[in-house]
Structure formats: structure tokens, C-alpha cells
Amino acid sequence: MTFNDIFKSSFLENVNAVSILDMVLALVLAFALGLFIFLIYKKTYAGVMYSSSFGVTLVALTMITTLVILAVTSNVVLSLGMVGALSIVRFRTAIKEPLDIAFLFWSIAAGIVLAAGMIPLAVFGSVLIGIIILIFANHKDMSNPYIVVLRCDGHESESKALACLHENVKRCTVKSKTAQKGLVELNLEVRLKDDNTDFVNVLSEVNGVESAVLVSYNGDYMG
């Protein structure tokens, strides 16, 4: 073994596998696309509690994916090892909003396409996806279900409240009914005719109605 063999390392041979210009350009574009995804997420978020850390995660995830794919595309052997290393990673954080999954995949896909050198596809695809999400996420559908919780003191007041409710909403369906001595509690799914919710005030003024509560419902949470 000679003196040169001691300092010869295959690790150092990979230093120039990816040029500085490619690294800087890819990471800068990944940051820009990640920031765009973050702004779309912030604009269209409709959950209960907004998490700024998830928005930052979208930016970081785009850049990290770009970094990984740059390394993988520069070395075939490294790609096999990377697959094995990433296969042991497990994510335990629960995704509460279905749309959040789309944003995560969007960030990963943008990083992969960008690192593969398909810059027009990454940019055009991200802009198109952002526009589509903005259109559909901000579209207000008056047929969204609501839950009305009624507390009445008897059958007569229950009938009056239901009659009043049928006059002011598009559709009304009884979901559950609890009857106790001197108390009837109803949970009804309603579809509004418009954005006006003043009928709840009218319901609360019906004789025998102790309380009337209107709750927005999307199938996952109430709020």
C-alpha cells in the first residue's frame, strides 16, 4: 500500500458529482415552489386550528425532497442505499384534514420533478394545481350540512319548532331524538337555502323551546 492509497477515497470522488450551480439553482427553485405551496395552503385552509408549523413543513419538505433526488440521480448505487434507509422511516403524526395529504404529496412531487431537471413541468404543474385548489377550496356550497340541536319541553313545542324549521330550510332530517320527562332533545341535519341563519333566533323564541343551536358539520369535526 502506497502513501497515495491511504488518502484515496471513493467518498471524495463524489464531491463533484453534482455541480454547485445545479445545487444552488435546484434548492432556490425548490424554496420558491415550497413557498408557493405554503401560500396556497394558508389561503385555502378551512380547518379548526391553523398550524403554521405544517406550512413551514411544506417548504422544508420540497427542499429536502429535491436534495435527496439530486443525490440519487448522481449515483445509482447511492439510490439503492437511499431506498433502504428511507424504508425504515415511520411518520406518527395524524393528518386531520384530507386536503393536507394532497399538500404533502404536492410538495414531494414538486421536489422530485424539480430535482429531475424538469423545471417547466414543476413550475407549470404547481401553478395549475394551485389555481385548481384555490377555485374549489374557496367555492362555498350552500348545500353543506348543518346540525341543529333543539331542546323542547314537550311534544307540542317540538311540533311547532319542526314546522318553523321546515319553513326556513331547504331540507331537514332527524338524526337523533332523546325524550325525557319534560324534555325533548332533537339533533337534526339541515340544508340551508342561503347564508342567512336568522331562523335559529326565530326557533329560540318559539314557545316551549328552551334552546336552539346551529353547528357547522363536515363529517369530520364540528366547529
Domain boundaries, position 35: 3-137
Q: Contact, 70 vs 22, CB < 8 A?
A: yes
Last residue of a domain, one of 107, 137, 167: 137
First to last CA, the chain: 73
Q: pLDDT tens for residues 56-94?
A: 888 998 998 888 888 777 666 566 556 555 555 566 666
Read out DSSP for 51-111? -HHHHHHHHHHHHHHHHHHHHHHH-HHHHHHHHHHHTT--------SHHHHHHHHHHHHHH
What is the chain's length? 223
- Give, as one character, the DSSP assignment of residue 154: S
Asked if residue 148 has pLDDT above 90, the reply is no
Instruction: Let me know whether 163 and 94 are in one domain.
Output: no
**Grid coordinates belonging to 86:** 428511507
Instruction: Let me know whether 14 and 45 are in one domain.
Output: yes
Last residue of a domain, one of 137, 172, 196: 137
Cα dihedral sign, 75-80-85-86? positive
Which pTM was predicted?
Answer: 0.61
pLDDT the model gives residue 17: 62
Instruction: Let me know whether 201 and 118 are in one domain.
Output: no
User: With b meaning 16 or more CB within 10 Å and e meaning fewer, what string describes 165-183?
Assistant: beebbeeeeeeeeeeeeee
Instruction: Let me know whether 14 and 121 are in one domain.
Output: yes
Q: pLDDT tens for residues 96-118?
A: 677 888 888 899 899 888 888 88
Strand partners, 146: 190, 216
pLDDT the model gives residue 13: 56
Q: Considering the domain boundaries, does residue 59 fall inside one?
A: yes
Worst-scoring range by mean pLDDT, 61-65, 145-149, 210-214, 219-223?
219-223
pLDDT band for position 218 (50/70/90)? low
Last residue of a domain, one of 108, 137, 166: 137
Quote the number of domains for the chain.
2
Instruction: Let me know whether 151 and 130 are in one domain.
Output: no
